[in-house]
Structure 1
Amino acid sequence: MEYIKEHIWQILIGLNYVLATSAVVTVLFKKINPTKTLSYIIVLLVFPFVGLIVYYLFGQEYRKSKIFNRKHVLNQSVVKQIQKELELDIKTIESVDELLDEKSKLIRLLYNSEKSKLTVKNEVKLIKNGDKKMQLLLEDLNNAKHHIHIEYFIIKDDTIGTKFLDVLCHKAKEGIKVKIVIDDVGSDISSKMKRKLKDSGVELRKFMPVLFSKFTGKMNYRDHRKIAIIDGKIGYVGGINISDNYVNSNDTRYWRDTHIRIVGEAVRQLQILFFTTWDFTNEENVKISKDYFPENDCKDDVALQIAASGPDTDWSNIMESIFVAITNAEKYIHITTPYFIPNDEIVTALQVAARSNIEVKLIVPKKSDSWIAEYATNSYLEKLLEAGVEVYQYTKGFVHAKTMVIDDVFSTVGTANMDYRSFNINFEVNALIYDRPFAKELNQIFSSDLEHTSQLKLDVWKKRAKSTKLIEALARLAAPLL
């Protein structure tokens, strides 16, 4: 015992490196992204104890494991019937192929990867900023007749959040079935409000609660989706959470964001996606009835696919769809993202597009809500500028929109950022929209956002201080871990 007391630090350091070496071997055998592999190795070997804590919290790999099994929902007869009903006839597929030309590869990619059906009977409304979104959403919630399904990364019971939750309580008391899934890390609802929800009949579930013995790895795999479904007929998806920060109240920083409201067949895909999450958060298997999938009477013809990705999918569906869209662009690529920390494939695709005389424009925040994300994003911009990509920094406030529009025909709006976490770790959902009028409208918003940006010039950007470049390099190295 005396020897142990005198050499306690040497023993602990030795034990640390035994465990760290074991972790390094585990990381190497996983064959994950080289950048992330190197980041873990450096943290584990250079920072005693801290490295093990980081790996313990963020390094566990659950992709494709049984913890995220969706088969119970997808195998139910009701869901199988709905999927069958969404199958398109050959004539419709040919008409969409003619519209999209080479971009029809996207449709086949998502179907082959995730059985994500293309739907055509949809009405899609583009929503700019949270105040307008909440106005529309609250109106739809108040008009609900059968059920309300909510799945959000962030719900807070601040001013707008309380108004939102009060509506849900009121509807539940009316007899409307109300189900809510919140991410346990992103959301913050008081115990008092939770009691009110329960007493009103609202069913609330937490996605992967982070509690002591269950803490391992669950900081990584978060439900970053923002989905609202009303009566199985109306669906919302996009970047806007439920909090005062998102509605541009007088005492908050200007928040520029984008969401969409869908009426039509695509809502069925959102409904199935919600039930897979709801089933995961429940101890008992969920039984799904046809009542949640009412007949669609939408007269508009907007072609749309729902792309979902996360540790429960075999492929990185959203990343792959973005990659294919970029590589098939012929005229222009316009991207808005709050966090630009992409993988090598996306960087190369953008560089090749720009060098092929395709107009590539990227809007990112000048001042982010995360300093490490800001520096990590900036570390990628010089190589893009060298390839001819036009990079613009948004200066009016914080741009949180996650959108892309290509060649006046393809658009995507959703929850996925252009970063490693959204591509590989979090549960995300994007709407892929194949429609010229919608693409034109989204591109008009992109052009108006450009009026509140400053364009980066390569010669000036290169003159950043060496200390700034060092911080950027360190942030880029750490980004895959966070």
Structure 2
Amino acid sequence: MRRAIQAVLIAALLFVFYYVGFGFFGKTAGTIVSIFSTLTVVSLGFMIFMENRNPSSTMAWILLLALVPVVGLFFYLLFGQNYFKRRKFDKKAEQDSKIYEMLEEGSVRVQQDLSDLNPMQQQLLRLSQRLARTPISFSSETRILTNGKETFSTLLQELEKAKHHIHMEYYIYRADDIGTRIQRILIEKAKAGVHVRFMYDAWGSMQLPKSFLREMANAGVKVAAYGSSKAFFLSRVNFRNHRKIVVIDGNVGFIGGLNVGDEYLSRNATYGFWRDTHMSVKGEAVRTLQIIFLQDWNYMTGEQVLEAEYLSPLLAERNSGAVQIIPSGPDNDRRALKNIFFSMITSAQKSVWLATPYFIPDEDILTSLRVAAMSGLDVRILFPAKPDKWLPFLASHSYFPALLDVGVQIYEYEKGFLHSKLLIIDGEVATIGTANMDMRSFHLNFEVNALLVQTESVQRIVSDFERDLKSTKQIVLDKFMKKKIPERILESLARLMSPLL
């Protein structure tokens, strides 16, 4: 919040000098301010150009700075700077890489011949392992948790069983009924000697009261915020920790789309029924989830906790299905999740089914979906009928005509708000997690997904998707294009801003 206030003050000051300077301070002062403002905009534009960003992002920033200098400068100071990323995240990436290499050498993992899978699946897993550098597990058990009731019921049960440690990391955590119930358990467990570490994103959980956090800390819960730096120009607000991770005693993990808040239990009148998908994990893959949390924790607190007692999960029964936990974020230029999504879509043989609350793809993903549809594949997109955020909702709609025109089937979920983040290929391969199908998840957020190949959970995801389709209305191109001109203009403007979202 302090960064936002500082940005507003800077922008307001520039506004005063730029627009009032001529009349109040005289032509000389006004000319100096005008020259200063022009040089500032040109310098920032050159910096953005030399950063070699995505071309659409580069053009969007330069256009914004050129047309509306004060507003553009405000947004750049708040969201656009990349030098913080280079200075801090490169170091994190180096540390993570060393840890993954060390654990690969020192861990005893169940090896499974990929020959049980078809060539496309083998190729996808080899790619995902190279991109994410995390192990593929054939000794893990997964269970799909549909919506908030099943998710939080299971989570509360597992938290009550904790004996050694609880590690929790959320983008949004609210101090409401469900948030307080979980807090009570964390406090109780900490007092009983269980090691409890709780991390939240400072931007996503900005409304979390300090008294709520202080109560946990006083009881022995270790609390850390991602992005809590007071330095405005570091622009941490733009790089958010969007992950949702829980690890209990190193044996049980949780991953998926649900944050902690009453709205995720369909208790918010604005959103109504909240449709979401989460997943519990047991066995070998929990180790990877644990490592991701501990590396995030180390990055924010400096505490190194990579000890055997945290990294020795009970192995599940060996099976033919593969599970891989995949982290992605601005600390890794490989864009692991985005490139895995792209590979999944382009390698599909029969179908591509996608569920996402925000659809703001880059050119690669958009083209891959269009080509898949033109190749005769069954391409379906499940999208909310009503928004929780208007700007991404409008921007998402601007991409629909190009998809509908080539045969992509787009369905609006009408039962409530759809927040599931799923990609299903040929009914046998799926990914579930925190990443949306948008450029923020591709390039700016820290995300974590699970890649599932020929597991029972994939079949559950498929059946849930088919059931969700019964609560939708299919978008028809001719009707969609009959929107009023003002609405279409708003969608186009939102799309123009989409690289900045």
Under a length normalisation based on structure 2, what TM-score does the superposition of the two structures give? 0.91
Question: 1:128 aligned to 2:150?
Answer: no
Q: 1:251 to 1:64 in 2, by over 3 A?
A: closer
Q: Which amino acid aligns with 2:480?
A: W
Q: Distance in 2 between matches of 1:287 and 1:265?
A: 18
SS in 2 for 1:367: coil
Per the TM alignment, residue 153 of structure 1 is displaced from its structure 2 partner at its CA by 0.3
Q: Which amino acid aligns with 1:200?
A: A
Q: Which amino acid aligns with 1:80?
A: M
Question: 1:225 aligned to 2:247?
Answer: no
Which of 141, 155, 174 is residue 137 of structure 1 equivalent to? 155
Question: 1:113 aligned to 2:131?
Answer: yes
- Mean Cα deviation higher: 291-300 or 271-280: 291-300
SS in 1 for 2:117: helix
Per the TM alignment, residue 65 of structure 1 is displaced from its structure 2 partner at its CA by 2.4
Q: Distance in 1 between matches of 2:22 and 2:170?
A: 55
- Superposed counterparts of 1:327-342, under 5 Å: 327-342=346-361
Which of 102, 106, 110 is residue 80 of structure 1 equivalent to? 102
Deviations 1:9-68 (A, max 9, x none): 544333222111111111111121121111101110111211111111111115862412
- The answer for the alignment partner of 2:72 in structure 1 is 51
Per the TM alignment, residue 314 of structure 1 is displaced from its structure 2 partner at its CA by 2.8
Per the TM alignment, residue 437 of structure 1 is displaced from its structure 2 partner at its CA by 2.8
Q: Distance in 2 between matches of 1:75 and 1:322?
A: 26
Q: Which amino acid aligns with 2:121?
A: K
Q: 1:83 to 1:454 in 2, by over 3 A?
A: farther
Contact 1:420 1:480 in 2 (8 A): yes
- Mean Cα deviation higher: 171-180 or 110-119: 110-119
Q: What percent of counterpart residues are identical?
A: 36
Contact 1:148 1:176 in 2 (8 A): yes
- The answer for the alignment partner of 1:6 in structure 2 is 26
Q: How many residues align?
A: 475
- The answer for the alignment partner of 1:344 in structure 2 is 363
Deviations 1:178-228 (A, max 9, x none): 0011100001321221121011100000101153x3453212100000000
- Superposed counterparts of 1:166-315, under 5 Å: 166-187=184-205, 188-209=207-228, 211=230, 213-249=231-267, 251=269, 253-282=272-301, 284-299=302-317, 301=319, 302-315=321-334
- Superposed counterparts of 1:134-173, under 5 Å: 134-173=152-191
Per the TM alignment, residue 438 of structure 1 is displaced from its structure 2 partner at its CA by 2.2
Q: Which amino acid aligns with 1:28?
A: F
Deviations 1:262-311 (A, max 9, x none): 001111001111111101111x3514211001242311524111111111
Question: 1:104 aligned to 2:104?
Answer: no
Contact 2:275 2:419 in 1 (8 A): yes
Q: Which amino acid aligns with 2:258?
A: I
Contact 2:413 2:473 in 1 (8 A): yes
SS in 2 for 1:468: helix
- Superposed counterparts of 1:33-52, under 5 Å: 33-52=54-73
- Mean Cα deviation higher: 176-185 or 246-255: 246-255
Q: Distance in 2 between matches of 1:88 and 1:133?
A: 29
- The answer for the alignment partner of 2:3 in structure 1 is none
Q: 1:84 to 1:326 in 2, by over 3 A?
A: farther
Which of 371, 377, 385 is residue 404 of structure 2 equivalent to? 385
Under a length normalisation based on structure 1, what TM-score does the superposition of the two structures give? 0.94
SS in 2 for 1:185: coil
- The answer for the alignment partner of 1:433 in structure 2 is 452
Per the TM alignment, residue 412 of structure 1 is displaced from its structure 2 partner at its CA by 0.6
Per the TM alignment, residue 2 of structure 1 is displaced from its structure 2 partner at its CA by 11
Deviations 1:442-461 (A, max 9, x none): 11100111111110111111
Per the TM alignment, residue 435 of structure 1 is displaced from its structure 2 partner at its CA by 1.7
Question: 1:472 aligned to 2:491?
Answer: yes
SS in 2 for 1:313: coil
Contact 1:367 1:398 in 2 (8 A): yes
Contact 1:375 1:475 in 2 (8 A): yes
Q: Distance in 2 between matches of 1:13 and 1:353?
A: 51
Deviations 1:77-123 (A, max 9, x none): x982466436554xx2233xx32321222211122223121111111
SS in 1 for 2:236: coil
Looking at both structures, which has the greater relative contact order when contacts are Cα pairs under 8 Å and sequence separation is at least 6? 1
- Mean Cα deviation higher: 178-187 or 4-13: 4-13
Contact 1:151 1:274 in 2 (8 A): yes
- The answer for the alignment partner of 1:32 in structure 2 is 53
Deviations 1:212-255 (A, max 9, x none): x3453212100000000001110100000001111112745211
Which of 34, 37, 41 is residue 20 of structure 1 equivalent to? 41
SS in 2 for 1:333: strand
Contact 1:63 1:310 in 2 (8 A): no
RMSD of aligned Cα (Å): 2.0
Q: Distance in 2 between matches of 1:365 and 1:141?
A: 32
Per the TM alignment, residue 4 of structure 1 is displaced from its structure 2 partner at its CA by 8.1
Q: Distance in 1 between matches of 2:108 and 2:480?
A: 49
Q: 1:466 to 1:210 in 2, by over 3 A?
A: farther
Deviations 1:144-203 (A, max 9, x none): 011010111011111111111111111100100000111000013212211210111000
Q: 1:84 to 1:109 in 2, by over 3 A?
A: farther
Q: Which amino acid aligns with 2:219?
A: S
Gaps of 5+ in 1: none
Q: 1:2 to 1:119 in 2, by over 3 A?
A: closer
Q: Distance in 2 between matches of 1:21 and 1:202?
A: 48
Per the TM alignment, residue 135 of structure 1 is displaced from its structure 2 partner at its CA by 0.7
Gaps of 5+ in 2: 1-20
Contact 1:100 1:434 in 2 (8 A): no
Q: Distance in 1 between matches of 2:103 and 2:434?
A: 28
